[in-house]
Structure 1
Amino acid sequence: MTEGVKDMPSPKDAAPGGAQVKSAVRTVELLEYFAGNTGMHSLAEVQEQTGYPKSSLYMLLRTLVELGWVETDATGTRYGIGVRALLVGSSYIDGDEAVAAARPTLDRLADDTGETIHLARLDGTNVVYLATRQSQHSLRPFTRIGRRLPAYCTSHGKALLATRTDEQIRRLLPEKLEPLTEHTHTDREELIEELQRVRELGYAVDREENTLGVRCFGVAIPYRHPARDAVSVSVPVARLTPGREQTIRDALMDARDRLTLATRHL
């Protein structure tokens, strides 16, 4: 199963009309599988990952293709996410009050730093990117809206985890963490120690923990507790001097204050 699918309720536990619920759960699981595994996949690949009977899986895929939620390649034998999913994702972001309230501050932070800015939301053990402002420099990181990354190896993810208690973090994360780079924390207790420093400083730092050559600084937006949204500034290490780092931290803390005011009504 793909990440997120394993946490879904079992159709066996559904109320009357279980067959309909089972079909709905399988549909959502398929869409989450394609969303988390880009590119095109054969029926055998999808069947191996989901464990669904091949005949019912084929019929479900064909229905989703007809409705535009899944697409096929020229041969009609490989499947991937369809354009309808983009429409739903765009609708979620367009209608989100926190994203709308944050836009002026994200614009200002991008102007003040000249670097790439991200707004992200905690979703289980991951952060999902909701908005971005690209740096004008030719050397810059690029992250698409909707991308998911483990919270423990991003600055905004760590800023959000730091608003949870140590016990909540232990329940949320496994003891051993999967590394994305050689700098990623792989021990949960070491991460928890760092999160204590994040609480003291008020911001988190990603030291090339998900992308080599890029350092990020992140702060949580405290309009909810524990926080669910955070903003970050990403900077190529080659452009990051001590003075530059201080300027970015100051701008980020100012942005946090502005975002706190902008989202106080939510």
Structure 2
Amino acid sequence: MTRTQRKDLVNSLGKMASILQCFTKHDRTLTLGMIQARTGYPKATAHRLLATMKEIGFIEQDRDRERYRLGLKLFELGSLYLANLDLHREAQPHVDRLAKLSGEVVHLCIFDGLHAVFVDRKEMDSGPSSLVMTIEGAPVYCTGVGKAILAFQDEATLERVIAAGLKAFTENTIVDPQRLREEMAATRKRGHSIDWSEHQRNLNCVAAPIRNASGSVFASISVSGPAERISPARIPVLGELVIETADTISRALGWTAPAKQAESRSPPRAAAS
């Protein structure tokens, strides 16, 4: 392959990626005109790229041929990625253990830049935890899993989330940017986040950040349940549980905790009901 051919290939891949990014949870299908408007590509270019992406399974076209949607091949690749993700392999026994100790639902999430994407879920009355095959994204500013990640990102990331909009899901959702910044500071100080029914009514959540080998927070783990069970009196014990579990997973991924932090962590105990 010549240098010119490589350059053209990279350019085409970049354009295809731009087309994929036109689709969102709310815009599941798009017309050629809508894709053209969002990418700025000429109609002929957008049509040619869509035809190629359709051929390889990245894009599907409705029977009426007027609207496009993401293809099944992307789901297959996403599932393959999750199945080979070190996080899921290392975290699975700890997800199960946390569910047993807390008696609540446990979620494991990764950060995609704007959302917390669920990759594992465990309930006490279910079998061993497994990949969440229907990949879902949760807002990072109003969920326990999201806030545990967002609090440890750089300022630019926080401001990008704020700029994207702070939609109110319940009366408890934090929609004021300054209040959210203060909440992030409080989360960093505690070492764990708290969702006081901010995303779903009567559902509270406690979560802690998971770090990679370099110490960067890229994921989180949480326990969640009805507000009457995840009560203010129970939060400190659950906080200890999720922090210890998150730290254990982080160490399995190659992270080394600072000496003082490692010494301060005591073994978790079953959360009181």
Asked whether 1:87 is paired with 2:47, we answer: no
Partner of 2:183: 194
Asked whether 1:97 is paired with 2:86, we answer: yes
Partner of 2:118: 129
Partner of 2:265: none
Counterpart pick for 2:167 among 179, 184, 193? 179
Normalised to the residue count of structure 2, the TM-score between the two structures is 0.75
- Quote the offset at 1:106 in angstroms: 0.7
Partner of 1:73: 62
Deviations 1:20-75 (A, max 9, x none): 33321121122233354453332233333333222221222122112111112222
Partner of 1:235: 225
Hey, what's the Cα distance between the residues in 2 that align with 1:144 and 1:204?
A: 26
- Higher alpha-carbon deviation: 48-57 or 15-24: 15-24
Partner of 1:111: 100
Deviations 1:96-138 (A, max 9, x none): 212210010011222333432221122323322222224649x
Stretches of structure 2 lacking an aligned partner (at least 5 in a row): 127-131, 257-273
Stretches of structure 1 lacking an aligned partner (at least 5 in a row): 1-14, 138-142
- Higher alpha-carbon deviation: 173-182 or 76-85: 173-182
Provide closer, same or farther for how the CA distance between residues 61 and 213 of structure 1 changes in structure 2, counting only shifts above 3 A: farther
Counterpart pick for 2:242 among 236, 239, 252? 252
Verify the 8 A CA contact 2:206 2:222 in the aligned structure 1: yes
Q: Which amino acid aligns with 1:121?
A: I
Provide closer, same or farther for how the CA distance between residues 92 and 219 of structure 1 changes in structure 2, counting only shifts above 3 A: same
Deviations 1:188-242 (A, max 9, x none): 3212212222223221012222333322211012444232121112223355445
2:21 aligned counterpart, secondary structure: helix
- Over the aligned positions, Cα root-mean-square deviation in angstroms equals 3.1
Deviations 1:153-203 (A, max 9, x none): 2212222233346x4566554468422414322233212212222223221
- Higher alpha-carbon deviation: 37-46 or 169-178: 169-178
Verify the 8 A CA contact 1:219 1:231 in the aligned structure 2: yes
1:153 aligned counterpart, secondary structure: coil
Deviations 1:62-97 (A, max 9, x none): 221121111122223221111110121112112221
Q: Which amino acid aligns with 2:89?
A: A
Partner of 2:216: 226
Provide closer, same or farther for how the CA distance between residues 29 and 116 of structure 1 changes in structure 2, counting only shifts above 3 A: farther
Provide closer, same or farther for how the CA distance between residues 117 and 33 of structure 1 changes in structure 2, counting only shifts above 3 A: farther
Provide closer, same or farther for how the CA distance between residues 128 and 170 of structure 1 changes in structure 2, counting only shifts above 3 A: closer
Verify the 8 A CA contact 1:175 1:187 in the aligned structure 2: no
Aligned residues: 246
Identical-residue share of aligned pairs (%): 28
Provide closer, same or farther for how the CA distance between residues 164 and 48 of structure 1 changes in structure 2, counting only shifts above 3 A: closer
Hey, what's the Cα distance between the residues in 1 that align with 2:161 and 2:134?
A: 24
Q: How does 1:137-152 map to 2 (within 5 A)?
A: 145-152=134-141
Q: Which amino acid aligns with 1:34?
A: F
Q: Which amino acid aligns with 1:51?
A: G
Counterpart pick for 1:163 among 126, 140, 152? 152
Provide closer, same or farther for how the CA distance between residues 221 and 178 of structure 1 changes in structure 2, counting only shifts above 3 A: same
Verify the 8 A CA contact 2:205 2:230 in the aligned structure 1: no
Q: How does 1:33-48 map to 2 (within 5 A)?
A: 33-34=22-23, 36-37=25-26, 39-48=28-37
2:245 aligned counterpart, secondary structure: helix
Verify the 8 A CA contact 1:217 1:232 in the aligned structure 2: yes
